[in-house]
Structure 1
Amino acid sequence: MTTRKLHFNLFLHDTGHHEASWRLPESDPYAHLDVAYHERLARIAEDAKFDSLFLADGPSLFGDVGRRPSGRIEPTILLTALAATTSRIGLIATASTSYNEPYNLARRLSSVDWVSDGRAGWNIVTTAGEAAARNFGLDDQPLHSDRYARASEFLEVATKLWDSWEDDATIADKAAGVHTLPEKVHVIRHEGEHFRVAGPLNVPRSPQAYPLLVQAGSSENGKEFAARWAEAVFTAQPTIEEARAFYEDVKRRVVEHGRDPELVKILPGIVPVIGDTETEARQLDAELDRLIAPEYARIQLAKTLHIDPEALPLDRPLPDDLPDEDEIEGAKSRYTLIVELARRENLTVRELIGRLGGGRGHRTFTGTPVQVADTIQEWFETGAADGFNIMPAVLPSGLEVFTAKVVPILQDRGLFRTEYTGRTLREHYGLPRPVNSHALAAV
């Protein structure tokens, strides 16, 4: 039995990751606003010993409101509710470095870490798209390279703020009348290209020191950012060959940044559609695809590709004259993934819409529990993944089937934990608690 274990993160996404999941008879189309629904899913994942769960977010409406549920509860607020009804599973919120300020966000995330007793994580995004920019008084989104430059400085400021209180700053000495040692609470005096922040943070250093740092961009800038900062990487890789290449590339960059590659966990997304038989699984997959509204999907695909929807006839392949990735200032890696998928498999626009409807470019897999487990094991043992971002096509049923039928197979094979061995999110991922920079300097 191997000593290396899989890591599983549950990607919560309203009624499921298939865009038509909300149209199934059993789905609740208002689930995305139901706190009790999210609490139930979190407890299912915790009972199965998942490392963490994760909420996507952005500072603008997600997609076309006519196509699927689009509104979202702000994730750090929702996570505080989930913290109260769970005790072990990690809680990861998405927040943008382009449309937040380091002080406010560092305080908010540190607070979630306190509320959850050390289970908070931050999925760091730079946020592509003109819609978000216009919500913050900008005429257009910042350039891709500028967003990542700001993100890197944002992390510098945030980590300085999280370190501004030393771990032993608070002594609460009633007899001496000293609560906190002033010399152990530090101003940071950061002055950079994007931020001027004095500090210190107005929250003491949290149980994990600071939240687990997660990153999800796969462009060149994204991979460099991950190599410098990330402790877990969420990525969309549709084939095992592409996943292995990404895994090797990011781990190499991590080493070049002087970091231990074993302390950066890479988790591709997988969208499992599971049936007791292959026929049953394919029937569910076909039912979901039948419910896709192709006109909505074509408009969304056109936005992603930066072309007019009229240039995308449903029963023809993608046009030859698409922009190069260098011309894209939005989500570069996702653009390239979609175009390469369509070209590689010679898909029509209608077929591409069906493929993207299930997982937006993530690995989709339709099969039996054993076949899903075999696929996960192959990726894990052949250098394609340290674990997976589990993205059920339909919720809650897809999660219930995965935890009841796939997880036990992996546990029996010695690939996944049967009990939690730590309490914090960092402990679940096998990561050390960061040493305070002021204490390190003193040593």
Structure 2
Amino acid sequence: MRTDQMALVAFMQAGSTSVYAGSWRHPATEHGYLDASYYAKVGRQLEEGCFDLMFFDDRLAMPGIYGGSVDEAVRYGARPVKLDLSVILGVLAQTTSHIGLGATYSTTYYAPFHVARTFATLDHLSRGRAAWNVVTSVNDSEAQNFGLESHLGHDERYDRADEFLDVVAGLWDTWEDGAIQHDRASGYYADPGKVHELGHVGRYFSSRGPLTVPRTPQGRPVILQAGSSGRGREFASRWADLIFTGDPGIDVAREHYSDQKARIAATGRDPSSVRICPMAYAVVGESESHAKEREDMFLNDLVDPMASLTLLSELMNYDFAQHDLDDPVTDELIASVSGIRGLVQNLRAHIGGDKVTVRDLAGHRATLLQGPRFVGTGTQVADQMEEWFTSGACDGFVMAATHSPGSYEDFVRMVVPELQHRGLFRTQYSGSTLRDHLGLDRPAGALTRSAS
């Protein structure tokens, strides 16, 4: 029997839709995504529900793989808008006081020093609530915005990412705790013996250091990661504090959970120190029938097939414009498109058959079936979440919004009290940092030398 409590994370978008591409068409969606007050409002709502963390997804390009053009993304609202997350989190650092604040930054298109400084600064300004969602990016459109013709291969991206994390973690440790003295009388600002050069020279990166930001309240910001391939799982096992998964069913999730915990242990880390949280969607109603009606409207009726194909092309880095919607997904197609095999397997498991069309695949992705849907009253949704949490499938959930901010309003009003009543989730924040919320230790610095 578990004695810990689940983690709850809000999966955010700083743009025109939630993770569900049809959400902008929902009548209750607020189109305030270009206004700072919108993000502050959502942050305060999530704090009312005692969420551990809100983190923002990102892409560094408008979807433009489908047909070699961004026209479909713009026409159908397939996530054409993505704001700068450092600015959004700066707003939230000032307008919230407890919830963790996370952003997605790429190890392929940013530099380690830049990322280390950004998240160290956020950790100070938020008083210890920063998190970095590590990605290697997904497609050629992003590469072409950074002066490259094509995206790096899968294994090379992870080779770079491993070294990138080594450099960032090292830079965060270049200041020891207690380095700053602020002795006005003597003019002694900080102890040089507690500030270190990094001196990293590697295959992909060189960084002298020290970082220009002192050691942060958390020691190191929390690391999130969502690798699903074998290499991705190994990477997450080495680096992540919270692993974000996409398992559509509880049996698959249990297998993933067991495998990931074993991989974490194999690195020499304590498996209980890493939270594993699948992305999930809650559609809550005043009655079960009301919830099912909302599910049809929220998730099944609002997304256009062309928007679905546009986003599928972006995700797979493959132009699906060369196929008709009703073309079968063949073994040849599966073999030729990196990353598609797992999506097809999940879809086959969901529909209970082997025959899958391009339309099926696009709809499966667009209507959020790659993670569990929890549908029902607040009590029924809490029942489903409790089953996952107590049966070895997860340590919590990354909750995606069907529309914003109403989806989170419903969840906080109807589901969170049920989870709290059962002792599955906190009733108030007991610590001040994100590491406190997640039950994570503050890491010791790796660099020390005797003061001269």
The TM tier, using the shorter chain, reads: over 0.9
Find out whether 1:340 has 2:341 as its counterpart. no
Contact kept, 8 Å, 2:225 with 2:242, in 1: the verdict is yes
CA RMSD of aligned residues (A): 2.0
Q: Show the counterpart of 1:60.
A: 61
Contact kept, 8 Å, 1:33 with 1:72, in 2: the verdict is no
How much does 1:67 deviate? 2.5
- What TM-score results when the alignment is normalised by the length of structure 2? 0.91
- Report the Cα distance in structure 2 between the residues aligned to 1:62 and 1:31, rounded to whole angstroms: 22
Which stretch shows the higher mean deviation, 297-306 or 130-139? 297-306
Choose from 369, 372, 375 the match for 2:384. 375
SS of the residue corresponding to residue 76 of structure 2 reads coil
Q: Show the counterpart of 2:165.
A: 155
Q: Show the counterpart of 1:50.
A: 51
Q: Show the counterpart of 2:211.
A: 201
- Report the Cα distance in structure 2 between the residues aligned to 1:150 and 1:412, rounded to whole angstroms: 45
SS of the residue corresponding to residue 31 of structure 1 reads coil
Q: Show the counterpart of 1:291.
A: 302
Q: Show the counterpart of 2:154.
A: 144
- Report the Cα distance in structure 1 between the residues aligned to 2:306 and 2:113, rounded to whole angstroms: 42
Contact kept, 8 Å, 2:193 with 2:450, in 1: the verdict is no
- Report the Cα distance in structure 1 between the residues aligned to 2:43 and 2:5, rounded to whole angstroms: 21
SS of the residue corresponding to residue 367 of structure 2 reads helix
1:359-370 correspondence to structure 2 within 5 Å: 359=368, 361-370=370-379
Contact kept, 8 Å, 1:271 with 1:358, in 2: the verdict is no
SS of the residue corresponding to residue 385 of structure 1 reads coil
Find out whether 1:408 has 2:417 as its counterpart. yes
How much does 1:363 deviate? 1.9
Contact kept, 8 Å, 1:312 with 1:319, in 2: the verdict is no
Q: Where does structure 1 differ by over 6 angstroms across 4 or more consecutive aligned residues?
A: none
Q: Which amino acid aligns with 1:294?
A: P
Contact kept, 8 Å, 1:273 with 1:392, in 2: the verdict is no
Find out whether 1:281 has 2:291 as its counterpart. yes
Q: Show the counterpart of 1:37.
A: 38
Contact kept, 8 Å, 1:369 with 1:406, in 2: the verdict is yes
Distance 1:310 1:179, change over 3 A: closer
Q: Show the counterpart of 2:68.
A: none
Contact kept, 8 Å, 2:309 with 2:320, in 1: the verdict is no
- Report the Cα distance in structure 2 between the residues aligned to 1:72 and 1:310, rounded to whole angstroms: 27
Q: Which amino acid aligns with 2:45?
A: I
Choose from 335, 352, 364 the match for 1:355. 364
CA displacement, residues 377-408 of structure 1 (integer Å, 9 cap, x when unaligned): 11111111100001121211111111111011
Q: Show the counterpart of 1:427.
A: 436
How much does 1:298 deviate? 3.0
How much does 1:290 deviate? 2.0
Distance 1:186 1:284, change over 3 A: same
How many residue pairs align between the two structures?
434
How much does 1:26 deviate? 2.7
Q: Which amino acid aligns with 2:341?
A: T
CA displacement, residues 14-72 of structure 1 (integer Å, 9 cap, x when unaligned): 543332121122323x3332221111111011111110101011211257222224212
SS of the residue corresponding to residue 66 of structure 1 reads helix
Q: Where in structure 1 are there 5+ consecutive unaligned residues?
A: none
Contact kept, 8 Å, 1:169 with 1:180, in 2: the verdict is yes
Distance 1:299 1:175, change over 3 A: closer
Contact kept, 8 Å, 1:17 with 1:358, in 2: the verdict is no
Q: Show the counterpart of 1:27.
A: 29
Contact kept, 8 Å, 1:32 with 1:72, in 2: the verdict is no
Choose from 207, 225, 238 the match for 1:215. 225
Choose from 318, 321, 324 the match for 2:332. 321
How much does 1:292 deviate? 1.8
How much does 1:250 deviate? 1.0
Contact kept, 8 Å, 1:302 with 1:312, in 2: the verdict is no
CA displacement, residues 187-245 of structure 1 (integer Å, 9 cap, x when unaligned): 11100000111100111111111210111111111100011110001111111111111
SS of the residue corresponding to residue 266 of structure 1 reads strand
Q: Show the counterpart of 1:265.
A: 275
Distance 1:307 1:438, change over 3 A: closer
Distance 1:255 1:388, change over 3 A: same
Q: Show the counterpart of 1:75.
A: 85
Which stretch shows the higher mean deviation, 47-56 or 301-310? 301-310
How much does 1:308 deviate? 3.8
Choose from 247, 253, 269 the match for 2:257. 247
Which stretch shows the higher mean deviation, 419-428 or 54-63? 54-63
- Report the Cα distance in structure 1 between the residues aligned to 2:342 and 2:291, rounded to whole angstroms: 25
Distance 1:303 1:72, change over 3 A: closer
SS of the residue corresponding to residue 332 of structure 2 reads coil
Which stretch shows the higher mean deviation, 32-41 or 196-205? 32-41
Contact kept, 8 Å, 1:19 with 1:357, in 2: the verdict is yes
- Report the Cα distance in structure 2 between the residues aligned to 1:388 and 1:434, rounded to whole angstroms: 24
1:107-118 correspondence to structure 2 within 5 Å: 107-118=117-128
Contact kept, 8 Å, 2:28 with 2:403, in 1: the verdict is no
Distance 1:302 1:74, change over 3 A: closer
Contact kept, 8 Å, 1:94 with 1:124, in 2: the verdict is yes
Q: Show the counterpart of 2:102.
A: 92
How much does 1:360 deviate? 6.0
Q: Which amino acid aligns with 2:118?
A: R
Contact kept, 8 Å, 1:282 with 1:366, in 2: the verdict is yes
Q: Show the counterpart of 2:11.
A: 11
Q: Show the counterpart of 1:385.
A: 394
Contact kept, 8 Å, 1:311 with 1:319, in 2: the verdict is no
Contact kept, 8 Å, 1:421 with 1:428, in 2: the verdict is yes
Q: Where in structure 2 are there 5+ consecutive unaligned residues?
A: 65-72
Contact kept, 8 Å, 2:334 with 2:341, in 1: the verdict is no
How much does 1:293 deviate? 1.1
How much does 1:440 deviate? 9.5
Choose from 178, 184, 188 the match for 2:188. 178
SS of the residue corresponding to residue 65 of structure 1 reads helix
How much does 1:183 deviate? 1.3
